[in-house]
Amino acid sequence: MKAVVCSALTEWGLPPALTLMDWPSRAPGPGDIRVALHAGGVNFGDLLVTTGRYQVKLTPPFVLGTEGAGIVAECGAGVTKFKAGDRVLLQNNDVRACFADEVTLPAARAVHVPAGIRLTDIAGFPLNFGTSYYALAHRAALRAGDVLAVHGASGGVGLAAVKLGKMMGATVIATGGDDEKLRAVQAEGADFTVNYRTEPLAERIRELTRDRGADVSFDPVGGDVFDAAMRSTAIDGRLLVVGFAGGRIPAAPANRILFGGLSVVGAPYGGFTQRNPERWAELMSGLLDKVRDGALKPLVHRRFGFDQAAEALQMVAERKVIGKCVLMSDRGLAEIATDCASSSDVI
């Protein structure tokens, strides 16, 4: 099979060392499925892996890619949930290896894709929408009528949180560092936007909420943005710690937590999916039903071929992506060529 292989770890900021090359495929063991992939989602986490900054260190050469969508090619002994030919969505934190023609993984890490959803439209869905839904619904108990502040809102998990927040009935304040990207986020549903490069973040959120602050703050950026989120989350509010895209891991002053009645809540989605594969499958299938019904519309910013993997990752590194990009195999390219029904692309 063909796979996007990371041949060496690189410094942060330099292009990743990725090559499309032949790679051995793996027959499914008991409980596994082998999936012929249409596409894989490109994540910030892939950059962390190629620069050796991810919590799990991989030694090159290895195949990149955590999530994807495709068609079941073969089932290992004992698999009853799937049969060859089923359309599946998968997330594969342990094995990774989704930037490839095919991947073999435990059947528990895949779910059925409802008819009518194009596989290349959904390949980048599991990590972003799974993380954001787990954070908002399971960790912060977001309610209809809440004010939700989503920081880094143009990014993968940020834009998913905006869309999920609107679906769940919240008023959404989207923050980011670029006016053009913020306009795109507003077009995707955010009620208000704040540019944290040009405006005082905490003060603007307090102004927009008549000094109350946000009931729920969603923070995948960290650093100064987290500090501002501490000052702009309402009394008895919930501040979700999702990630540190900005680089600095912040510290939460305990006096603010005490006097603000704040719940500072971690959202370790990767760990959740590994510990609870059944709950993950239930969560993901529920979200896919929302996509099928038109209540959720994932955005694919740009589609690349596998041979353009380094370019796609560089775009993430340069903060040029709105939402998510996907990398397509030849099957994915063929799906796009034969089906122009989707209108979810920006470009």
Ligand X SMILES: NC(=O)c1ccc[n+]([C@@H]2O[C@H](COP(=O)([O-])OP(=O)(O)OC[C@H]3O[C@@H](n4cnc5c(N)ncnc54)[C@H](OP(=O)(O)O)[C@@H]3O)[C@@H](O)[C@H]2O)c1
Query: Contact positions toward ligand X, by CB under 6 A?
Result: 43-45, 127, 131, 152, 154-158, 176-178, 181, 220-221, 242-247, 267-270, 316, 319, 321
Pairing of strands 87-91, 67-75: antiparallel
* Between 87 and 181, CB nearer to ligand X: 181
Minimum distance, C-beta of residue 195 to ligand X, in the bound complex (Å): 8
Burial class of 157 by CB neighbour count within 10 A (0 to 12, 13 to 18, 19+): buried
Pairing of strands 233-241, 263-266: parallel
Minimum distance, C-beta of residue 86 to ligand X, in the bound complex (Å): 26
Burial class of 273 by CB neighbour count within 10 A (0 to 12, 13 to 18, 19+): buried
* Between 23 and 269, CB nearer to ligand X: 269
Minimum distance, C-beta of residue 217 to ligand X, in the bound complex (Å): 14
* Between 74 and 191, CB nearer to ligand X: 191
Q: Which residue has the tokens 């102004």?
A: 207
Among candidate residues 2, 40, 1, 38, the one with its CA nearest the CA of residue 19: 2
* Between 6 and 325, CB nearer to ligand X: 325
Minimum distance, C-beta of residue 1 to ligand X, in the bound complex (Å): 26
* Closest-approach residue to ligand X (CB): 155
- Give 31's contacts (C-beta < 8 A, 6+ positions apart): 76, 77, 78, 79, 106, 107, 108
Minimum distance, C-beta of residue 47 to ligand X, in the bound complex (Å): 8
* Between 79 and 90, CB nearer to ligand X: 90
At 193, which helix (H) or strand (E)?
Answer: strand 192-195
